[in-house]
Amino acid sequence: MNLTGRVGLFGGTFNPLHKAHLRVARVALEQCGLKSVVFIPNGIPPHKGPVEGISAEDRYRMVLAAIEDEAGFEISRIELDREGPSYTIDTIRALKDDYAEGVCFIVGADRLLDISTWREPEALLRSVPFVIAPREGLSGDAFDLSPFDVARIHSLEMEEVDLSSSWLREKVARGEPIGEWAPPGVAAYIEENGLYRNRELTGVRSIER
């Protein structure tokens, strides 16, 4: 599968963005020959409830702080500025026309396995190529079966991703440092704005993405 010159769309809650997110984006940029990677913070993610006191604008600013000095990285407000829940299929349909060079969608293997809970899953799988990051305990064989047989999937060759935003939030709530796992700009923003302290840390899952 030739993805050279395409734009990688990297959606997520990014609550907060951490170093593993950046690692996945860098590997995708290099291995797939992408023109750029566009980070797309969710506006109202339908599969999660908001973390109390953390605004979408906070998440946007943390991503911006993390990528501002990174060549080849961009950020989009398309889901933040959209009214109502943010569905990936709607975002892809809206952005495909903006990038004549073509797009692909970057996602963790664990999230893609939950595709049946996303809106219009079969249309989504057929819409663009998927670039997937490995997750601990998940075999690539899982994507050889239906419904993934209709998709174009490229698996990144990299170490398994084993870092979560929820784990970082818990460390912050306990007053522990996160500089080893969060980009400097993100760690500084969290500290300066007192984010994630003494707040409910888990979201409520709903049925679609």
Residue 48 has pLDDT above 80, yes or no: no
DSSP-assigned letters across all residues of 123-141: HHHHHS-EEEE-BTT--GG
pLDDT band at 138 (very low <50, low <70, confident <90, very high): confident
Domain 7-193 indexed as CATH 3.40.50.620: yes
- State mean pLDDT over 74-93: 93
- State mean pLDDT over 102-124: 96
Does the reported pTM lie above 0.75? yes
Quote the pLDDT of residue 177.
96
What is the Cα–Cα distance from 107 to 122, expressed in whole angstroms?
Answer: 16
Nearest to 196 by CA among 48, 50, 64, 42: 50
Quote the pLDDT of residue 123.
97
Residues 115/147, Cβ–Cβ less than 8 Å: yes
Q: Which residue has the tokens 């899982």?
A: 142
Residue 46 has pLDDT above 70, yes or no: no
Residue 145 has pLDDT above 60, yes or no: yes
- State mean pLDDT over 42-56: 69
Q: CA angle 135-27-70, nearest 5°? A: 120
